[in-house]
Amino acid sequence: MFGNLGEMANLMKKAKDIQKNLKGMQGDLASIECTGESGNGMVEAVVSGDLIVKRIFIKDAAMADREILEDLVLSAVNNALAGVKAQSQEKLSKLTGGINIPGLFN
Domains and CATH numbers, the chain: 2-96 (3.30.1310.10)
Residue 2 has pLDDT above 70, yes or no: no
**pLDDT higher at 46 or 98:** 46
Q: Which amino acid is present at 9?
A: A
Q: How far apart are CA 42 and CA 37, in angstroms?
A: 7
Q: What is the pLDDT of residues 18-61, one digit of tens each?
A: 777 677 676 777 788 999 999 999 999 999 998 999 999 999 99
Q: How far apart are CA 34 and CA 56, in angstroms?
A: 12
Q: What is the pLDDT of residues 55-84, one digit of tens each?
A: 999 999 999 999 999 999 999 999 999 999
Q: How far apart are CA 49 and CA 26, in angstroms?
A: 9
Sheet containing strand 33-38, edge to edge, reads 33-38, 43-48, 53-58
pTM more than 0.75? no
Distances (CA, A) of 53 to 19, 31, 72, 82, 97: 27, 13, 15, 13, 30
